[in-house]
């Protein structure tokens, strides 16, 4: 609620940079832990078949289910927490709390050496994912509070760009430790990767301090048990408002479907490349670097396209490209072709995330000030989409023992997303 938010100058460059720095900080997790290094590390240092009671899973399916479990937890928590934060004025408190949880969990991955520490590694990964995902609802909710609507696209893209650049810098350093451990006096590639996980936690927590310092401070009210009830109440009221806005409903349906596909690809692309195409560690890193570097240009390309043709046109274009990526991936057996596909993934990866955040901000009624509650819905949809996408991927992989069918299943999600998005009207439709 607005009375709990300290006033701040809109479009202040120092505030915008501080906000974007958080993307620089937490994208280290997004790149190193969730995308580039840890999935391959998990697959390489755990048994191919893992027995849990009377059930057995492939390690790739278990990894998918771990992602799903993480987002189930945070999807249940974030509406309550965002409602409490908005009512009590503790938006920054929760942003700091989830950042601390996530960064410390990343450092704990240093102790994950293989099968004997399987549950330590899995648990730390789940907590890191919860910390990352949990912080985003509070981070995203600052956007309408620091810039005017006409700058949503540009500032949102700035955040993602900072994230891509910062995470690539750290990834390259970690790659050097993995590929050339002797240069750093390390005994093995594995130790290089484990130190990399430690560095992610330090990087994340360290750079986040800049964001914490310069973002507008909340005006805290006295905390009471009633805030739990009020938190639910605030979220429920926002839900009622969402139901009354047809375009917002349709957008969230489209967002759910394409986010399920996009985020699952981001989380599991390296596993697919290693398991189905036999990519080595160095090749996987090149793959991820292609994704990240192309994504920088992609975020701005589709932001510009959104400005010229409207965000709806830009998002529909990207959804169609994602669908084609899934179809071609199913038939791809050549590494070079997969590199080309990866460049297309990178091109639409940043753009669709950036424009989604900006487009949703446009759909929030201008008179609304409880933006955290509104963004909690956006965030819950986002997290439930990841639960659905990764669970579908893991289930199809488990049932067929073929990740190609899992990728093809994601294509159906993009078809549904295209249908819902085509029925949505945005303010900037051209």
pLDDT digits (tens, 9 = 90+) for 106-149: 999 999 998 889 999 999 999 999 999 888 878 877 887 888 87
For residue 384, pLDDT beyond 80: yes
pLDDT at 1: 42
> Please, which pLDDT band fits residue 7 given cuts at 50, 70 and 90?
low
d(CA 2, CA 40): 45
DSSP string, 119-186: HHHHHHHHHHHHHHHHHHHHHHTTHHHHS-GGGHHHHHHHHHHHHHHHHHHHHHHHHHHHH-GGGGT-
pLDDT at 26: 93
Strands 55-58, 49-52: parallel, antiparallel or unpaired by DSSP? antiparallel
- Which of 143-157, 197-211, 263-277 has the largest mean confidence? 197-211
- Average pLDDT, whole number, for the chain? 86
* Residue 86: band (very low, low, confident or very high) from pLDDT cuts 50, 70, 90: low
**pTM recorded for the entire structure:** 0.80
Spatial contact of 374 and 234, defined as CB atoms under 8 Å apart: no
Q: Residue 198 and residue 192: Cα distance in Å, rounded?
A: 10
- Residue 366: pLDDT over 60: yes
Q: What domains sit in the chain, N to C, each tagged with a CATH number?
A: 8-215+239-422 (1.20.1250.20)
Evaluate if residue 60 carries a pLDDT over 70. yes
Mean pLDDT, rounded, for 43-60: 85
The DSSP secondary structure of 35-102, one letter per residue, reads: IISHHHHHHHHS-SEEEETTEEEEHHHHHHHHHHHHHHHHHHHHHHHHHHHHHHT-HHHHHHHHHHHH
Q: What percent of the chain has pLDDT over 70?
A: 90
Query: What dihedral do alpha carbons 264, 412, 65, 203 form, nearest 10°?
Result: 10
Give CA–CA dist 78/84, Å, rounded.
10
pLDDT 10s digits, 271-316: 889 888 988 877 887 888 888 778 778 878 888 888 888 889 999 9
* Predicted local distance difference test score (pLDDT) of residue 155: 87
How much of the chain exceeds pLDDT 90, in percent? 40
Please give the pLDDT value at position 352.
86
pLDDT of 368 above 80: no
- Kindly tell me if the per-residue pLDDT of 3 is higher than 50: no
Q: Comparing 94-98, 157-161, 243-247, 335-339, which segment has the lowest mean pLDDT?
A: 157-161
- What's residue 88's pLDDT? 67
């Amino acid at each position: 609620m607005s009375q709990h938010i300290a006033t701040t100058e809109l479009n202040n460059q120092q505030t915008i940079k501080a906000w974007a720095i958080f993307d620089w900080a937490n994208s280290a997790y997004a790149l190193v832990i969730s995308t580039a290094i840890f999935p391959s590390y998990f697959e390489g240092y755990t048994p191919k078949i893992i027995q849990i009671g009377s059930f057995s899973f492939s390690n790739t399916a278990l990894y998918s289910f771990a992602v799903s479990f993480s987002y189930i937890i945070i999807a249940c928590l974030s509406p309550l927490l965002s409602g409490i934060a908005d009512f009590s004025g503790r938006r920054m408190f929760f942003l700091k709390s989830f950042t601390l949880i996530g960064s410390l969990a990343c450092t704990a991955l240093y102790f994950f050496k293989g099968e004997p520490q399987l549950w330590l590694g899995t648990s730390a990964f789940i907590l890191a994912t919860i910390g990352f995902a949990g912080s985003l609802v509070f981070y995203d909710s600052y956007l309408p509070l620091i810039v005017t609507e006409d700058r949503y696209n540009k500032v949102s893209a700035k955040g993602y760009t900072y994230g891509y650049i910062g995470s690539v810098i750290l990834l390259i350093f970690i790659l050097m430790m993995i590929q050339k451990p002797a240069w750093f006096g390390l005994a093995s590639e594995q130790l290089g990767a484990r130190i990399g996980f430690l560095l992610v936690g330090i990087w994340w927590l360290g750079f986040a301090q800049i964001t914490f310092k310069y973002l507008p401070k909340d005006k805290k009210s006295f905390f009471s048990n009633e805030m739990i009830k009020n938190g639910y109440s605030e979220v429920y009221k926002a839900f009622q408002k969402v139901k009354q806005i047809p375009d917002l409903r349709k957008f969230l349906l489209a967002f759910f479907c394409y986010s399920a596909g996009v985020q699952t690809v981001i989380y599991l692309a390296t596993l697919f490349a290693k398991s189905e195409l036999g990519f080595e560690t160095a090749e996987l890193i090149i793959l991820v670097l292609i994704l990240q570097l192309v994504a920088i240009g992609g975020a701005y390309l589709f932001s510009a396209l959104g400005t010229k043709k409207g965000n709806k046109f830009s998002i529909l274009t990207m959804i169609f490209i994602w669908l084609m990526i899934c179809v071609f991936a199913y038939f791809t057996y050549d590494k070079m072709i997969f590199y080309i596909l990866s460049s297309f993934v990178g091109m639409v990866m940043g753009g669709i995330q950036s424009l989604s955040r900006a487009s949703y901000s446009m759909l929030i009624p201008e008179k609304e000030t409880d933006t955290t509650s509104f963004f909690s819905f956006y965030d819950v949809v986002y997290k439930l989409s990841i639960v659905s996408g990764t669970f579908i991927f893991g289930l199809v992989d488990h049932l067929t023992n073929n990740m190609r069918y899992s990728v093809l299943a994601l294509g159906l999600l993009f078809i549904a997303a295209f249908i819902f998005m085509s029925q949505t009207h945005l303010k900037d439709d051209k």
